[in-house]
Amino acid sequence: MPKIIDLAAYRTQGTLVFAGRDRGRLVRAKAALEEADREPAPVEIRIPDDIFSITSSFFLGMFGPSIQRLGAENFAKHYLFVGKDISPIVRDGVREALRTGSPL
């Protein structure tokens, strides 16, 4: 059974956008993604259906270190995004994190 991280638990009530690298880093720490990276079971990331957007800066702040640590293929197997479709942000974020060598 996968570990579940629901982004709804990490937003201010009424917020429709997850934005900012610093905010992504903060959510990464609160959600304990350093530990989640090492878990053998997949991690399900629940994206609230009512959000308007997740910015690339937030995504890189939250997941950049995981992408670099796991690589694109293992990241895609380990972190499963469900709910609102953010596949373009995930695809672009993975490419950017690996291209620059540093997500930050």
Written as six digits, the tokens of 65 are 């270190």
Alpha-helical segments (H) within the chain: 21-30, 33-38, 56-78, 87-100
Residue 52 phi/psi, 5-degree rounding, is -85, -40
**13-46: pLDDT as tens digits:** 888 999 999 999 999 999 999 999 999 999 999 9
**What ranges do the domains of the chain cover?**
3-100
Indicate whether this model's pTM tops 0.75: yes
Question: Looking up tokens 């895609």, which residue turns up?
Answer: 76
Please tell me whether residue 45 adopts helix, strand or coil conformation: strand
